Amino acid sequence: MTKLFSLLLVISFLSLFSSAATSSSSRPPPKFLGSAFARSKPNRNSPPPYRYETRYFRQNLDHFSFAPLPQFTQRYLVGSSDKWSRNGPIFFYCGNEGDIDWFAANTGFVWEIAPKFSALVIFAEHRYYGESMPYGSQERAYKDAKSMSYFTTEQALADFTVLLTDLKQNLSSEESPVVLFGGSYAGMLAAWMRLKYPHVAIGALASSAPILQFEDIVPPETFYDIVSNDFRRESLSCFEAIKKSWDALDRLGKVHDGLTSLSRKFRLCHKLNNTQQLSDWLSSAYSYLAMVNYPFPSGFMMPLPAYPIKEVCKRIDNDPNGNDLLDRIFAGASIYYNYTGNVSCFDLDDDPHGLSGWDWQACTEMVMPMSSSRENSMFQPYDFDYTAYKEQCVQSYNVTPRPRWMTTEFGGHQV
């Protein structure tokens, strides 16, 4: 669990735009954790593994002005109160960059320890994700930079604080001690909320929260080196095969009908426009696999076996269908994208968990520099280029990132 949150969302799901530099040409900025999933949707009809009630709360769109702006409805989940008594402890989970029911279903630690403390469990959804959409719909909320201008960590923390304060008043439990929980981005929020609103919570369990993954604090190669080491430890030949595959993809993509051939080889639902799309898809799989390399079967990101990296490398090292490198790479990636064998084709633009809002966050506040080293990484080598990053954000959202804002707001650099 800790390892998942550490890598996720560095999210983590965390630099969505980077500049890839090669000796011969410059690549378009690759996405890190993009919305590359198989064409299979989460089963929203299956009962949640934990008991909770879904509730809604009216929030101010802007907590820091008095302008007459419309309110919006924030979703939150309330666990069973069978063992909770008035003024008993409250375990409050700060929502991540996705549907809150998805995170509630996959954060068993909070649910499992709550009865031991007779605690009430609350999962609050982050604004602009899931059902907590300002202006009534995702289409209207994500319309442009103006409609998304209230999509900030400061506003989200204020949402959590207002919701929690109101809830305690309604429950006549103003004296209830509150412990904040979160992993990855939600862990960052939990830590920052404890710093920003120390009178609201007595503590925060910020599981692997990358609060130092910002400019000039940690080496930008850190994330991809960690992921690469997971594969190297499992199998050096697997690591080397993945490292060689990027050039093989580019070579095939440049020949006549090469993109068509790649689209067929990787069973894509739509023909590729360029090889970078496929590289992003594969990079996402390897990154997510490192996040969910549990010693038991799981279904957080995708249905996966125990130790999925071991299974991926088995396919890449010992594919029975032949020795073609890209065939072996596809066999390995299929462990992540199609372990059940039920997927007929792969949609590179699918976003079953509602993570697309992170692109905006990465283009405004959450600027987390990422690079991939030629020596230690199995990924395509590239260096973070803020100029290219900024240009991509201006093109996508007509906004200029603020790479130092998070450390200005919450700290991080030693003074």
**pLDDT tens profile 296-319:** 998 888 899 999 999 999 999 986
**Largest separation between any pair of C-alpha atoms in the chain:** 71
What is the structure's pLDDT at 349? 79
In whole angstroms, give the CA distance from residue 357 to residue 63: 20
Which residues does 369 contact at the CB level (< 8 Å), separation at least 6?
Answer: 15, 18, 214, 215, 220, 384, 386, 403
Distance of CA 51 to the CA centre of its chain: 25
DSSP state of 341: S
Could you tell me the two tokens for 166?
């109101």
What is the structure's pLDDT at 320? 64
What is the pLDDT confidence band of residue 8, given thresholds at 50, 70 and 90? very low
Which residues does 350 contact at the CB level (< 8 Å), separation at least 6?
Answer: 35, 36, 37, 38, 39
Mean pLDDT computed over 8-30: 35
Name the phi and psi angles at 288, rounded to 5: -65, -35
DSSP state of 367: -
Task: Please report where in the chains the tokens 């990296």 appear, as a residue.
Answer: 309
Mean pLDDT computed over 274-292: 93
In whole angstroms, give the CA distance from residue 185 to residue 95: 9
Looking at per-residue pLDDT, the higher value among 47 and 231 belongs to 231
Of 195, 191, 4, 35, the residue nearest 103 (C-alpha): 4
- Residue 32 in this model has a pLDDT that exceeds 50: no
DSSP string, 121-158: EEEEPPTTSTT--GGGSHHHHTSSTTTTTT-SHHHHHH
In whole angstroms, give the CA distance from residue 372 to residue 378: 8
Mean pLDDT computed over 310-337: 90
Q: Are 165 and 200 in contact (CB under 8 A)?
A: yes
- Residue 18 in this model has a pLDDT that exceeds 80: no
Q: Are 167 and 84 in contact (CB under 8 A)?
A: no
Mean pLDDT computed over 82-86: 88
Could you tell me the two tokens for 41?
């949707």
Could you tell me the two tokens for 390?
């900024």
- For 176-200, what is each residue's pLDDT tens digit? 999 999 998 999 999 999 999 999 9
- The letter for the amino acid at 365 is E
Long-range contacts of 110-117 (CB under 8 A, 24+ apart): 110/181, 111/50, 111/79, 114/79, 115/83, 117/89, 117/91
The partner residues of 57 in beta bridges, in order of sequence, read 74
What is the pLDDT confidence band of residue 46, given thresholds at 50, 70 and 90? low
Could you tell me the two tokens for 227?
């992921």
What is the structure's pLDDT at 30? 38
**Mean of the per-residue pLDDT values for the chain?**
87
In whole angstroms, give the CA distance from residue 330 to residue 343: 14
- For 126-182, what is each residue's pLDDT tens digit? 999 999 999 999 999 999 999 999 999 999 999 999 999 999 999 999 999 999 999
Looking at per-residue pLDDT, the higher value among 356 and 5 belongs to 356
For 99-257, where are the alpha helices, taking DSSP H only?
100-105, 108-113, 138-141, 153-170, 185-196, 222-234, 236-254
Q: What percentage of the chain exceeds 70 in pLDDT?
A: 86
pTM metric for this prediction: 0.86
What is the structure's pLDDT at 348? 86
- For 138-149, what is each residue's pLDDT tens digit? 999 999 999 999
- For 208-249, what is each residue's pLDDT tens digit? 889 999 998 999 999 999 999 999 999 999 999 999 999 999
Least confident of 29-43, 66-80, 152-166, 397-411: 29-43
- Residue 27 in this model has a pLDDT that exceeds 70: no
Task: Please report where in the chains the tokens 């994330």 appear, as a residue.
Answer: 223
What is the structure's pLDDT at 340? 92
- For 66-82, what is each residue's pLDDT tens digit? 999 999 999 999 999 88
